[in-house]
Structure 1
Amino acid sequence: MGMTAILGGCGSTGSSGVTLRLVAADYGDSAANSSKKYWDRLAQEYESAHPGVKVQVSVYSWNDVDRKVKQMADAGDPPDMAQIGAYADYAAKGLLYKADDVLSIPVQADFLGQLSEAGQLRHVQYGIPFAASTRVLFYNKTLFAKANLTPPTTWAELAADAAALKARGVKYPYALPLGPEEAQAETMQWLLGGGSGYTDDIGTYTIDSPQNVETFTWLRDELVGKGLTGPVAPGRLNRADAFDAFANGEVGMLNGHPTLMQQADKKGVKFGMVPMPGRNGTPKSTMGVADWMMAFKKSGHREQIGDFLDFVYSEKNVLAFSREYDLLPVTGSASEAMDAAEQDKALRPFLSELPLAQLYPVGKTSWAQVSADVKKQIGRAVAPDGSPAAVLGQLQATATAADSAENAK
Structure 2
Amino acid sequence: MQRRYLSLAAATVATTIALTLTGCGSGSGDGDVTLKLIAADYGDSEANGSQNYWDELARAFEKKNPGIKVDVEVYSWTDVDKKVEDLVKDGHAPDLAQIGAYADYAAADKLYRADQLLSVSTEADFTPSLAEAGEYQRVQYGLPFGASTRRLFYNKKLFAKAGIANPPQSWSDIARDAQLLKARGVKMPYALPLGPEETQAETLMWMLSGGGGYTDGIGKYRIDSPENIKTFNWLKEDLVGKGLTGTDPAQLNREDAFQGFVDGEVGMLNGHPTLMKQAEAKGIDYGTVELPGVDGKAKATMGVADWMMAFKQNGHRAEVGKFLDFVYSDKNVVKFSGEYGLLPVTTSASQAMLADDKYAKLHGFLKQLATAEFYPADKTSWPLVSKTVKAKMGAAVGPKGNPAGVLTDIQNTADAADNAAG
Give the TM-score of the pair, scaled to structure 1. 0.95
Equivalent in the alignment of 1:83: 98
Contact 1:46–1:308 (Cα < 8 Å) also in 2? yes
Alignment partners' CA distance in 2, 1:285 and 1:276: 8
Alignment partners' CA distance in 1, 2:50 and 2:151: 25
Equivalent in the alignment of 1:46: 61
1:283 Cα deviation (Å)? Answer: 1.6
Alignment partners' CA distance in 2, 1:16 and 1:305: 15
1:23 Cα deviation (Å)? Answer: 1.6
Picking from 32, 40, 47, the partner of 1:32 is 47
Report the AA paired with residue 104 of structure 2.
D
Equivalent in the alignment of 1:264: 279
Establish whether residue 293 from structure 1 lines up as the match of residue 308 from structure 2. yes
Picking from 184, 187, 211, the partner of 1:171 is 187
Report the AA paired with residue 210 of structure 2.
G
Contact 1:208–1:389 (Cα < 8 Å) also in 2? yes
Report the AA paired with residue 20 of structure 1.
L
1:223 Cα deviation (Å)? Answer: 0.3
Alignment of 1:104-253 (within 5 A): 104-149=119-164, 150-230=166-246, 232-253=247-268
Contact 1:194–1:211 (Cα < 8 Å) also in 2? yes
1:13 Cα deviation (Å)? Answer: 7.6
Q: Which runs of 5+ in 1 are unaligned?
A: 1-11
Report the AA paired with residue 383 of structure 1.
G
Equivalent in the alignment of 1:315: 330
Report the AA paired with residue 230 of structure 2.
E
Equivalent in the alignment of 1:359: 374
Report the AA paired with residue 297 of structure 1.
K
Q: Can you list the C-alpha shifts for 1:365-385, whole angstroms capped at 9, x where unaligned?
A: 110110111011101110111
For the residue of structure 2 that corresponds to 1:59, the secondary structure is strand
Root-mean-square deviation over aligned CA pairs? 1.0
For the residue of structure 1 that corresponds to 2:154, the secondary structure is strand
Q: Which runs of 5+ in 2 are unaligned?
A: 1-26
Q: Can you list the C-alpha shifts for 1:297-356, whole angstroms capped at 9, x where unaligned?
A: 011000000010000000000000000000000000000000010100010110111111
1:15 Cα deviation (Å)? Answer: 3.9
1:16 Cα deviation (Å)? Answer: 2.4
Decide which structure has greater helix share.
Answer: 1
Equivalent in the alignment of 1:372: 387
Equivalent in the alignment of 1:325: 340
Contact 1:13–1:307 (Cα < 8 Å) also in 2? no
Give the TM-score of the pair, scaled to structure 2. 0.93
For the residue of structure 2 that corresponds to 1:178, the secondary structure is coil
1:99 Cα deviation (Å)? Answer: 0.6
For the residue of structure 2 that corresponds to 1:55, the secondary structure is strand
Report the AA paired with residue 119 of structure 1.
G
- Structure 1 window deviating more from structure 2 (19-28 vs 327-336): it is 19-28
- Greater than 4 Å deviation, 4+ residue runs: none
Equivalent in the alignment of 2:414: 399
1:251 Cα deviation (Å)? Answer: 0.2
1:279 Cα deviation (Å)? Answer: 0.7
Contact 1:15–1:304 (Cα < 8 Å) also in 2? no
1:49 Cα deviation (Å)? Answer: 1.4
Equivalent in the alignment of 2:14: none
Q: Can you list the C-alpha shifts for 1:270-294, whole angstroms capped at 9, x where unaligned?
A: 1000111011111221100010000
1:158 Cα deviation (Å)? Answer: 0.6
For the residue of structure 2 that corresponds to 1:240, the secondary structure is helix
1:51–1:13 Cα change, 3 Å: farther
For the residue of structure 1 that corresponds to 2:344, the secondary structure is coil
Contact 1:284–1:356 (Cα < 8 Å) also in 2? no
Report the AA paired with residue 308 of structure 1.
F
For the residue of structure 2 that corresponds to 1:31, the secondary structure is coil
What percent of counterpart residues are identical? 61
